Amino acid sequence: MDPKTPYENSSNFDSFMFNSSSPRSDMSIQSRSSGRDNSTREVSFGHTGSKPVRHGSNSEGLSMSQKEISDEDARLVYVDDPEKTNERLKFAGNSIRTGKYSIFTFLPRNLFEQFRRVAYIYFLVIAILNQLPQLAVFGRGVSIMPLTFVLVVTAVKDAFEDWRKHRSDKIENNRLALVLVNGQFQEKKWKDVRVGEVIKISANETIPCDIVLLSTSDPTGVAYVQTINLDGESNLKTRYTKQETQSMFPEKERLNGLIVCEKPNRNIYGFQGYMEIDGKRLSLGSSNIVIRGCQLKNTNWALGVAVYCGRETKAMLNSSGAPSKRSLLETRMNSEIIMLSFFLIALCTVTSVCVAVWLKRHKDELNLSPYYRKMDVSEGEEDSYKYYGWVLEIVFTFLMSIIVFQIMIPISLYISMELVRVGQAYFMIRDSRMYDKATDSGFQCRALNINEDLGQIKYVFSDKTGTLTENKMEFQCASILGFDYSSAKMGPENEQVEYSVQEDGKVFKPKMRVKVNQELLQLSKSGFANREGKQIYDFFLALAACNTIVPLVVDTSDPMVKLIDYQGESPDEQALAYAAAAYGFMLIERTSGHIVVNIHGEKQRFNVLGLHEFDSDRKRMTVILGYSNNSVKLFVKGADTSMFSVIDKSLNSDILQATETHLHSYSSVGLRTLVIGMRDLNASEFEQWHSAFEAASTALIGRASMLRKVAINVENNLCILGATAIEDKLQQGVPESIESLRTAGIKVWVLTGDKQQTAISIGCSSKLLTSNMTQIIINTNNRESCRRCLQDALVMSRKHMTVPGVTHNSEGRSDAVSTPLALIIDGTSLVYILDSELEEELFQLANRCSVVLCCRVAPLQKAGIVALVKNRTDDMTLAIGDGANDVSMIQMAHVGVGISGQEGRQAVMASDFAIGQFRLLVPLLLIHGHWNYQRLGYMIIYNFYRNAIFVLVLFWILVKGLS
């Protein structure tokens, strides 16, 4: 807890408290209604027996949790002994470099990139020819000045942009960190940190490298981190130390230990290893490692040992270098210029042949010819004028013709193009339609050379969180005991209420207000007066307790009033916690061992005896609470489809049926639904669970699957409490924007690091997924299973093919697909597909689908998906995102668009264009993109035709004169 929180020391731990050190993964509480519209068909492809199972990319889904780390795949890190750690293998230093050039490589590399324009090579050849005295049609200096000017201006621009990156790298590398040296913590530059060194991180500081946690200021070993630079999420994530290392004091005793972990890899969601200390082998997972770029929050300090540094950190491995982008028009111009060059050669050849014929005819008259006389008598004495002979004169005539006809490919065209692009950028920046009042941000043009590509986009790859959505969840309604307390039934009396509690003369209020149902609010105050009151009590207690929310105290202008800000891994959990507080169940303190909830003015403490967080197989989260009377209760919340399978249907079947009806109505309007259940645990059941959980959480092999089995065994015979519905607010105009893009013939793909359930829900509410689509879901965890699933999906997609012309798509063309297909695939499957022979099969399948949703994908996987389309089609691609996790995708696409949102500036800095919200993509592409492409295209054609006429007229005069 934050040290400012007045409730921190409200009570002590008792012997009944059990502290979990199990791996934790992100929490998603979205589900789809079991009463799905019959017109929506869903096909799942997975690696199970008779019943399909979806495997998400959970915290250990991509790691080696099922096998021991082999010697050749292991990295040995000696704690607080960098010399021994680096003795056999020199691990990478912690210095990073994101710049493209160095002092020595700038000139050759920059010239190489500029001369990718074929016209520059042509201009260089012309300038070289003009340096020869025999061919000097223009002045030598004048002929080379235009090309030199263009090259220098471009080089200066590129040098400035790269200098900014080097300056940023220098600032990053010279930041200071506290490193343990000879038993004392000393300041050390980030670039000097080495693998094996122990680092101390203070609150709000950034992690300098990938570290395995040893201890934290929290006595239970919990650390809260913000991973905004990795996954774009501003919510806090929980990380844990091992209890065996939590009590160590490195400044008083020598740390001796060995960490054996996997080699550096790009998987930011997984980590596998173990630590040998004091003769014990402690398992390490993704919950024990903090990645470079994360920030420590709500924790005074944390100690960790560096395991990956510099370019070997997961963040750097997921960062692709910034490519140099060229517009499609320029690429097309290269081929046109090559064709014009052949045409120019043909003209010069004809001219040379005509000159050869003329020389043959007038060989005896050359002395009298003004250009071919053999004698120079201007000084009174005859001097032999240098005549190179018939063959060389023809060659020189050919080369001089090239210089004379060089305007066929004008260098002025490139200068004109740059001027036009500057004007286009001005129009886009000054357009009031491109200004977003909500974020007070206007349009930014960060790459002038690809303006016209905006009008040729065929694929849009979009992030979800912060791009399509505001990442703000609002509690809308609840179903309890079969009664629907929905916002639709709320009258004028149902408004946002402000619940508050008093402590030490100060008033504490939730930071966010929630619109409540007055009838339900009155029932929540009835307590245990009747069965209905008890059920409502348990329902809201589950909302307040079954989460990983951390309550923080925020000061206000009034020193006597404090706000409780709920920070957690999921905005869904935040919405539910605020809803519980609005109904009188305010969470005011949380540690890994207990929680304190103020229930209608009475502060109550519950011991957290165990916690099973959400995973993609169970689709549930479970918390086990110990009451003051030594009773134990298990609270579970999760997706409706998974919860109904573990609820005791013999109890209150009428309530169950009514709840299902309410869930269907909630999901039909795009709300994210969740079912709440509970049951009492007797002493024997708790002891059985406790021993199984202990064994699973300390296992080195198959830990994730063992923990999953323990959770499944205890999550059964539940009594249903009710259901909730949350609205994930889309950004303004997102559904209309997606519909407009699809009407324009642009395919929209969503690539998100979020859960599959969440992505599907947003897909429905944003009109990306429609009720008449057949969903193809691919979730696998091995290569062979991926192959089978793709083949099955391809076969199924062919069955949906009909005779061309039966249906018509939004562009008015005949479409061969009778039923639109939507492909939904997770990051675990993509691990086995990308960079393998399965890429082509995935592309074929995706090409037949109207919509593609990729869930739980890592940053570099996003870039791989963009490259999948980019390398297999000539269509233009655009990537749009708002977080650092979108940078690789933005840089990989032909056009990258950054959103000036709440998730930092990394996406904007890496983008070609920046806008305030997703809806502004429509005027950017369909208005400005159209005009940019059309106007520049007309200008290029005009220049080519105009110069061609000049050259052909000159050619006709020369040929006419020679004849």
What residue numbers does the annotated binding site for ATP cover?
A: 463-465, 573, 614, 637, 672, 752-754, 856, 862, 885-886
Burial class from Cβ neighbours inside 10 Å (0-12, 13-18, 19+) for residue 560 reads exposed
> Using H for helix, E for strand and C for coil, what is the string for 701-729?
CCHHHHHHHHHHHHCCCEEEEEEEEEEEE
Q: How far apart are CA 879 and CA 912, in angstroms?
A: 10
Task: Indicate which residue of 158, 231, 453, 463 is catalytic.
Answer: 463
Instruction: Report phi then psi at 926, rounded to 5.
Output: -85, -20
DSSP structural state of residue 379: T
Q: How far apart are CA 905 and CA 958, in angstroms?
A: 60
Q: How far apart are CA 294 and CA 681, in angstroms?
A: 38
Strand ordering across the sheet containing 483-485 = 483-485, 469-480, 719-730, 672-681, 632-638, 620-626, 602-612, 594-599, 585-590
C-alpha separations of 746 from 386, 576, 579 in Å = 66, 37, 40
Binding site membership: which residues?
Answer: 463-465, 573, 614, 637, 672, 752-754, 856, 862, 882, 885-886
3 state DSSP class of 696:
helix
Residue type, 599: I
Encoding tokens for residue 289? 């490692």
DSSP structural state of residue 925: I
Torsion, CA 937, CA 942, CA 948, CA 949, rounded to 10: 160
Complete DSSP assignment for 257-273: -EEEEEPP-S-TT---E
Helix 389-404 vs helix 328-361: crossing angle, to nearest 10: 140
Bridging pattern class, strands 876-881 and 895-899: parallel
Burial class from Cβ neighbours inside 10 Å (0-12, 13-18, 19+) for residue 619 reads buried
Residue 270 CA, distance from chain mean position = 17
Binding site membership for Mg(2+): which residues?
Answer: 463, 465, 882, 886
Complete DSSP assignment for 80-109: T-HHHHHHHS----S-----S--TTTHHHH
Q: How far apart are CA 441 and CA 301, in angstroms?
A: 36
Encoding tokens for residue 37? 């519209």
Q: Does an H or E element contain 750, and which? A: strand 747-751
Instruction: Find the length of the chain.
Output: 963
Please enumerate in sequence order all residues whose Cβ is within 8 A of that of 326, keeping only pairs 6 or more positions apart, or say none.
116, 449, 450
Closest by Cα among 778, 577, 533 to 674: 577
Q: How far apart are CA 281 and CA 276, in angstroms?
A: 5
> Using H for helix, E for strand and C for coil, what is the string for 929-947?
HHHHHHHHHHHHHHHHHHH
Residue 380, sorted as left (phi over 0), alpha (psi -120 to 50) or beta, turns out to be left
Residue type, 414: Y
Catalytic residue status for 463? yes
With beta carbons less than 8 A apart as the criterion, state whether 891 and 165 touch.
no
State the CB neighbour count (10 A cutoff) for residue 949: 10
Complete DSSP assignment for 563-628: EEEEE-S-HHHHHHHHHHHHTTEEEEEE-SSEEEEEETTEEEEEEEEEEE---TTT-EEEEEEE-T
Bridging pattern class, strands 383-384 and 375-376: antiparallel
With beta carbons less than 8 A apart as the criterion, state whether 704 and 616 touch.
no
Residue 844 CA, distance from chain mean position = 24
Please enumerate in sequence order all residues whose Cβ is within 8 A of that of 698, keeping only pairs 6 or more positions apart, or say none.
282, 283
E-assigned strand segments in 640-693:
672-681
Burial class from Cβ neighbours inside 10 Å (0-12, 13-18, 19+) for residue 192 reads middle
Q: How far apart are CA 281 and CA 394, in angstroms?
A: 86
CA atoms within 13 A on the CB side of 74: 15
Catalytic positions, written as ranges: 463
